[in-house]
Structure formats: structure tokens, C-alpha cells
Amino acid sequence: MSTELETLVVERAAGVVTVTLNRPHRKNAANGTMWRELRATLEEVAAAREDRVLVLAGAGDAFCSGADLGDPSDVAGRPGDPHLVQMRALADVALRLHRLPKPTIAKVGGIAAGAGMSMALGCDLVVASDRARFSQIFAKRGLSVDFGASWLLPRLVGLHRAKELAFFADIIDAATAASIGVVNRVVPAAELDAVVSEWASRLAAGPPLALSMTKALLNQSASVSMEQALEAEAQAQAVNFGSRDTREAIAAFVEKRDPVFEGD
């Protein structure tokens, strides 16, 4: 199944939704249409029970080269909106990706720069090919970091490394990105599709409710105390123990078979 959109290709198979940024002639630079379509797609995936995992990819030889600064007529908000209004529309997309109650994987096969790099880092997992490159390119365009980079980068790589990436805006290769914690896995380009597909399939077969709450617990971990984290864990486990999925997992363990999770 595929949904026809102007800047995205959305495909669904066995609980995995693959959203491909589809402007290869611009290295998948995001114009306003793409931001709006991403927002609507994320909202749709969040609400669809059959959608269990989101894979975010780029068409051609790039992931996303950032916002399309060469297309001022098509902005994140409405044409003519003040810059702050436009940026708040962009921020809404970043928040929807961050808050999506399902696991997300960025499949990075080429350049991920500016908001494109931030978008990849906004996913729960990042798998990159050995041809991938990353850059917080903003400073070279006279801009500050955006799409959540100021929040994401220090948590992933530490404050001083985040400042280095943001201040100098250098392009780093996939191996360097892995060494500093920007990506989870680097694989040969020929294996990228297979590795991401295997990860996505495993997640799609997992317990949706438990994975959703685990994602929320980990996302909020930096802003809560140990006591608050333990209480949130207790509440999540109470929900799990009352679910059919947990009962199914325990029964499968006893019966020495794979569990079949339904999401309730």
C-alpha cells in the first residue's frame, strides 16, 4: 500500500511504515510542503493501531540535506508568516516525531545535514551506511541549530562535543558519527536495507504498549528525579500487568513458543 503525496512516499507492510523523503533532485531538502506532509503523516501513524514502527529514509543518494532555503515561496507555515511562526510550525513536526508513541528508525544512506541531521537524531534509532555523512551545517548558513538539535545533541554526545559540531559545522563521516554516539550502527551500503528491515520487523513483532511506554520513560529520563522515574516505571508496569500482551508473553514463555502481541 502506498499513499500518494507530493514530497513523500509512504509504504506499509506488516506493521512497518516506511516514509521516504522524496525530493532527490534537491537531496531531499525539506520545503514547506514536505514539512506539512510530514506533520500529517506522523499524526496519521500515531493514530493507526496497525502501524507499529516508523522507518524514515531518503530517496536517491541522500537522507535529507536540511531545509530548502532556496524555496522561499514554500515555507513551513503559510507564505507570508513571520519567521517565528514558520519556525514554530517546523518545531511542531520535530515534537510529533519525538512524541510518536511507536519506535522510529532513521535509515541514513547519504548526507544528513542541518535539519536533516536533526531529523535523523530525532528518531529512536539511527542506522547509517558507510557512505553516510552528517553535519550541523547551520553556522555555515548564518543560522543557529534547529529541529531540536540544541536538545538532542548534548544528550547524545555531551555538551562540549555538541558545541564542536554546532560551532564548526564540519561534515563527519559515518564511522566518526558512530564513535561519538550519533548513530547506533554503521553497515556497508549494500546491507543497509536488510539491517533496517530486520530491526523494524523485530520491533513490529514486539509488544506495542510496553515499547511505547518504554520510549516515553527513556525520553523523559533526563528531566525527572530517580524517585519520579521509579514511580513512572511502576505505573507503566501496572498497565502492562493488566494487559493481554503481558499475559500472552508469560504464557508463551511457559509454553516455549514465540509470543504474538496484539497491542492491548
**pLDDT tens, residue by residue, 179-223:** 999 999 999 999 999 999 999 999 999 999 999 999 999 999 989
34 found inside a domain: yes
The number of domains in the chain is: 2
Look over the chain and give the mean of its residue pLDDT values, rounded to a whole number. Answer: 94
Indicate if 52 and 166 belong to the same structural domain: yes
The predicted model scores a pTM of 0.94
Indicate if 67 and 99 belong to the same structural domain: yes
Indicate if 168 and 213 belong to the same structural domain: no
The dihedrals phi and psi of 6, each to the nearest 5 degrees, come to -75, -40
pLDDT over 90, % of the chain: 89
Indicate if 36 and 128 belong to the same structural domain: yes
Indicate if 108 and 239 belong to the same structural domain: no
260 found inside a domain: no
Q: What confidence score (pLDDT) does residue 50 get? A: 96
106: cell is 532513521
Q: What confidence score (pLDDT) does residue 30 get? A: 94
CB 166 within 8 A of CB 139: yes
Question: What's the CATH code of the domain at 17?
Answer: 3.90.226.10
Q: What confidence score (pLDDT) does residue 143 get? A: 94
**CB neighbourhood size of 147 (10 A):** 27
* Mean pLDDT on 25-50: 95
Q: What confidence score (pLDDT) does residue 77 get? A: 64
Indicate if 140 and 241 belong to the same structural domain: no
86 found inside a domain: yes
Indicate if 122 and 17 belong to the same structural domain: yes
Indicate if 240 and 194 belong to the same structural domain: no
* Mean pLDDT on 164-192: 97
d(CA 15, CA 13): 6
* Mean pLDDT on 1-29: 91
Q: What confidence score (pLDDT) does residue 28 get? A: 97
pLDDT bucket at 59, cuts 50 / 70 / 90: very high
Range of the domain at 16: 2-204
Indicate if 102 and 166 belong to the same structural domain: yes
Indicate if 223 and 172 belong to the same structural domain: no
Indicate if 111 and 215 belong to the same structural domain: no
Q: Residues 68-123: pLDDT tens digits?
A: 987 766 666 667 788 888 889 999 999 999 999 999 999 999 999 999 999 999 99
Q: Which domain-ending residue is among 185, 204, 223? A: 204
262 found inside a domain: no
Instruction: Inform me whether the pLDDT recorded for 1 exceeds 80.
Output: no
Question: What's the CATH code of the domain at 230?
Answer: 1.10.12
Indicate if 189 and 230 belong to the same structural domain: no
Residue ranges of alpha helices (H) inside the chain are 32-47, 83-99, 115-121, 149-157, 159-168, 174-179, 192-204, 208-219, 226-241, 244-255
